[in-house]
Amino acid sequence: MTQSFADLGLSAMALEAIRKKGFEEPTEIQIKTIPLLLKSNQDVIAQAQTGTGKTATFGLVFADKLTPRKSKAPQAIVLAPTRELAVQVAEELNSLKGSKNFSIVPIYGGQSWGMQRKHLQVGVDIVVGTPGRVMDHLEKGTLKLDKIEYFVLDEADEMLNMGFIEDIETILEYVKKDRQMLLFSATMPARIAGLAKKYMKNPVSIKTEKDRIANNAVDQIYFEVSMRDKFETLCRIIDMEEEFYGIIFCRTKNDSDGVSKQLGDRGYRAEAFHGDITQDRREQILGNFRRRKTEILVATDVAARGIDVSDLTHVINYALPQNSESYVHRIGRTGRAGKTGKAITLVTPSEFRKLRMFEHHAKAEIQKKAIPGASEMVELNKCKIIRDMESILVESQLLKKYEKLGIEMFKDKEPQAIIAALLKYSFSEKLDEASYKTIQQGRGGQRSERGGRREDVGRPISGKFGTTRLFLTTGKQDGATVPKILRMIEKDFGVSGNAVGEIDIMDSYSFISVPFSQAEAILDAFHTMKKKGKFAPVRVERASQGKKGGGKGRGGSRKSSSRGKPRAGGFTKRRK
């Protein structure tokens, strides 16, 4: 039996706020959590994916149980991993407060310190903040948490990934012991479980049906493509859709900038979105995207945590995410609020094993589709032109000022010739098959008749499309991250980070996948450094030469090779 919001025990005021927002039915996490929070003061661990209504879950409870202006000190604090998400949560809470005059303030780095301090001095009911800025206010005494009734951790696993757990533990020391703590996380890594055990009192664990978003309303597709044809394939995917309003996910900030610029050069309304963009610019970009002045956002995973738009038509994985959880997070951004969406992944031959792992985790088949060829693109463009012309003809009043010119053009020429000339004038490139480059149609990763995976189908033996794996003697214990490895590959070995495919970072070593030619360039650069007695940031080998395990010496101290100098690439342990 389908439950309604009224069945959850919410007040009439909260139900009216829900009605105004257009919510029709509660999500699974709301059904399981809201009644419990309304009736008890138990701590709660809620495991649910992005886009399942977690903010409304605790926001509606705040609206019903908190009293506005009870004191100048905040009654609830919500910690979020990014400033975009903090702003988004604050806006959502404001939209759910109904007739209650709550003061809800986001505090985050990049915003005026003086303005935040003024808000806190006047009095705030609910604070939504990033760990770093909350810590700053606590240390300076401008924020007091001794009257907190609710302590909420939103996207706890992402805070772990961003290195905020120690900050959160420090913040918790400022909070009174009898507060109610709510922890929301898509996954439950050991460090998050340890945090819950240490700071929560007999918490109730609530887990939604895993990855339901991925199965319900999202059509999952992949295209097999070589590295060199990725961008051309991306453009064809966008062009072949009747409507495209979505996010393209890249691995690095540089990739995000590069893809965004290339799209802009081709006439698409696209913007890059990542951590190096100033706060004012970030807010401007998000505003343009929500108003659809921008149709495409090219984002990194961390920056995209603050993006919550309910009517996205597409999510494209231009680069594969690092793990299955990130894949589900990404595709969960489309197919929301009762709408359908498409999640499209571009896969190079070396990435099929990882794609199948994502497919298994999401419990849904990711279907392969063929990249449209030149003739197919021309036919699609013809249909679009006819469709666009029909919509323009409907607005006959707006065509009046062009009628005189039309009469002059048709005076001495046949109508077909004039129309053909106009089509050539406006759409010559789109209607010419020669303007589309040939894209290699791969067959890798196909399933055999017995249901297994054929690793060798369609994989080139050598040349432009082949890839290989390299072993690097640096890992997590050295502070290695994907951006640092990419910077090292570019700076120290002279190969563009865009050439690097899959990156697997272990405790004391890492593997990277690169095309054969770039692999040879990296190995040559490493051997040249050794011959000349120069400093090499890491040892590089073909993956087949290295041990499978992380034996002694791998990723450990390499004083003999580094000659006492700090490692290039910034691979040192430090607190984020």
Per-residue pLDDT of the chain (576 residues; tens, 9 = 90+): 568 899 999 999 999 988 887 777 888 889 999 999 999 999 999 987 666 788 899 999 999 999 998 889 999 999 998 887 888 899 889 989 988 999 999 999 888 899 999 999 999 999 999 999 999 999 999 999 999 999 999 988 888 877 888 999 999 999 988 999 999 987 788 888 899 999 999 999 998 764 444 445 788 999 998 888 899 999 999 988 888 999 999 988 889 999 999 999 888 999 999 878 887 788 889 889 988 999 999 998 877 765 667 788 999 999 998 777 778 878 878 876 667 789 999 998 878 878 888 887 777 778 888 888 888 878 887 887 787 787 777 777 777 778 788 888 888 888 888 888 877 877 777 777 776 777 766 554 443 322 333 333 333 323 334 567 888 888 888 888 888 888 888 888 888 777 788 888 888 888 888 887 788 888 888 888 877 777 678 888 876 543 444 333 333 332 223 333 333 344 443 333
Domain end among 334, 368, 402: 368
Q: Rounded distance, CA 516 to CA 522, Å?
A: 10
Smallest CA-to-CA distance from 9 within 63, 54, 76, 77 is with: 63
The CATH number linked to 311 is 3.40.50.300
Nearest to 80 by CA among 302, 277, 284: 302
Distance of alpha carbon 300 from alpha carbon 321, whole angstroms: 10
Taking the CA atoms of 255, 261, 265 and 271 in sequence, report the sign of the dihedral they define.
positive
Q: Kindly state whether residues 21 and 69 are assigned to the same domain.
A: yes
Do 29 and 84 fall into the same domain? Answer: yes
Three state DSSP letters for 508-568: CCEEEEEEHHHHHHHHHHHHHHHHCCCCCCCCEEEHHHCCCCCCCCCCCCCHHHHCCCCCC
Same-domain pairing of 144 and 35: yes
Domain boundary, last residue among 346, 368, 390: 368
361 plus 381 within the same structural domain: no
* Whether residue 189 is found in the same domain as residue 133: yes
Domain that holds residue 132: 5-207
CA distance 224 to 349: 7
CA 502 to CA 499: how far, in whole Å? 10
Q: From the centroid of its chain, how far is CA 486?
A: 19
Helix, strand, coil abundance in the chain, percent, nearest 5: 45, 15, 40
- 568 in any annotated domain: no
Strand segments, DSSP code E, in 130-171 are 150-153
Residues 224 and 189 in one domain: no
Q: State the total domains in the chain.
A: 4
Q: Is residue 458 assigned to a domain?
A: no
Question: Is 219 in the same domain as 364?
Answer: yes
The answer to whether residue 544 sits within a structural domain is yes
CB 37 within 8 A of CB 63: no
Extract the tokens encoding 359.
Answer: 């497919």
Interacting residues of 424 by C-beta distance below 8 A, sequence separation 6+: 431
- The set of residues, in sequence order, having a beta carbon less than 8 Å from that of 30 and lying 6+ positions away, is 5, 8, 53, 56, 57, 60
Please count the other Cβ atoms lying within 10 Å of the Cβ belonging to residue 12: 9
In a domain, 449, yes or no: no
Neighbours of 353 (CB within 10 A): 11
Regarding whether 406 and 266 lie in a shared domain, the answer is: no
Q: How far apart are the first and last CA of the chain?
A: 47
- Tell me which of 368, 384, 407 is where a domain ends: 368
**Is residue 446 a part of any domain in this protein?**
no
Q: 462 in a domain, yes or no? A: no
Rounded Cα distance, 194 and 328, in Å: 24
220 domain-assigned: yes
- Predicted TM-score of the model (pTM): 0.51
Whole-number Å distance between alpha carbons of 461 and 444: 12
Same structural domain for residues 152 and 284? no
Q: Are residues 300 and 403 in the same domain?
A: no
The DSSP letter of residue 470 is: E
- Distant-in-sequence, close-in-space partners of 6: CB < 8 Å, separation ≥ 6: 15
**Same domain assignment for residues 220 and 362:** yes
Q: Both tokens of residue 134?
A: 């909350």
238 with 328, same domain: the answer is yes
Tell me whether residue 455 is in a domain.
no
